[in-house]
Structure 1
């Protein structure tokens, strides 16, 4: 689905990394990992075309898919007293409006059911718990049936029950909706349970392979980075 070839990103005179190579296979989960500050989120921004590569290329062998991004938190969700169902519907191109087609209403109901939000549909998102908000972000992303889902530390602030519940939904969509996933995570349990492949970013380059072959001693498990 996506190939990264000899990628390098430079800020001023400092290289974050160079010679990064990886591939995302269809219906696979790729975990992007590495120490704090190495530039994991910066690579995601490049995939989202919000950051230019200094060298190398990101290529889509087939047609570029619909991409949706789920962050760890969204400050804007606290600014508007929207019901969760209204927040989820923002994913539609025309956003919230007083009319919706039957197909759109059914689609919202279906995604609320899949993400276990039906009973919370009328609750204000700014009053929801962290886990409920995260499922709302996921529901909004999945509403338009994307081909690529990007999770940026999406489980970082969740308890064990909530994070596995969230990732089980992601796994279901991968298996049944031909979804591919890139996730940034420091959670080794989640990586081992749900990821197929990994991209370990280092200042001097990268390491790409299958998660079953990952040497976890290379990892610094801790807080997220925003580089």
Structure 2
């Protein structure tokens, strides 16, 4: 039996006078991929923020049956990728907490090399990230997220604006990580091809719905 890592029970979120939705129920198991779908503006990212503990739901509960896992987040875009012109390997390494040390320890260098290899970034690791293609950037964002050794990976429109090859390449890498470590994935997506191929469960958000039902694939 797969272990339940996340339960969202009867969640509703109000922003000012506007009730985005109510009665949201979903369950995510270890090693499973759950797709969160819905129209623009319905509040998918708002629900993700609540799951990450960045805001409190107006109604309902977000429950971590086995305790809060290590969560990593991959967005569609990171402004810092253009702001500093770092090499890809240095950008990925930002995920480490260096403390007062200005250099990586050997264990960190080894982990960085392994993650760059698994995400296909080794050969371009010395290239500046602001000159990388969209697909290369998203793999760098993914590598940065994986460096934390997460138990839950959140993909917030991570494949948006990628060409067909790049978006499937990214999701194949995510799937390989799931096989390695039973990683759980929550992805926000508008892409029906990606949802159909990679999601085990789909939850569709609609404005102020009484209840959101999960479709199991």
TM-score, L = length of structure 2: 0.94
Give yes or no for contact 1:30–1:183 (8 Å, CA) kept in 2.
yes
Q: What is the deviation of 1:63?
A: 2.0
Which residue of the other structure, out of 36, 41, 46, is the alignment partner of 2:40?
A: 36
Q: Hey, what's the Cα distance between the residues in 1 that align with 2:175 and 2:127?
A: 26
State the partner residue of 2:19: 15
2:73 pairs with 1:87: no
2:72 is the alignment partner of 1:62? no
1:96 Cα shift?
9.8
Aligned match of 1:218: none
Q: Cα offset for 1:118? A: 0.5
2:188 counterpart of 1:184:
yes
Matched-pair contact (CA < 8 Å) for 2:98–2:104 = no
Conserved 8 A contact 2:75-2:158: yes
CA distance in 2, matches of 1:117, 1:159: 18
In structure 2, which of residues 42, 51, 60 is the aligned counterpart of residue 47 of structure 1? Answer: 51
| Structure 1 residue 98 displacement after superposition | 3.7
Tell me if structure 2 keeps the 8 A contact 1:90–1:96.
no
Give unpaired runs (5+ residues) of structure 1. 213-227
Q: CA deviation at 1:95?
A: 7.2
Query: 1:132 — aligned with what?
Result: 136
| TM-score, reference length from structure 1 | 0.90
RMSD value over aligned CA atoms?
A: 1.3
Moved more, 101-110 or 22-31: 101-110
Residue matched to 2:112? 108
Equivalent pair of 1:4/1:21 in contact (CA under 8 Å): yes
Unaligned stretches of 5+ residues in structure 2: none
Q: In structure 1, what is the Cα distance between the partners aligned to 2:69 and 2:14?
A: 27
Q: Check conservation: 2:119, 2:139, Cα contact below 8 A.
A: yes
Match of 1:206 among 199, 209, 212: 212
The SS at the match of 1:206 is coil
Q: Is the 8 A contact 1:65 1:146 kept in 2?
A: yes
Shift in Å, 1:100: 2.0
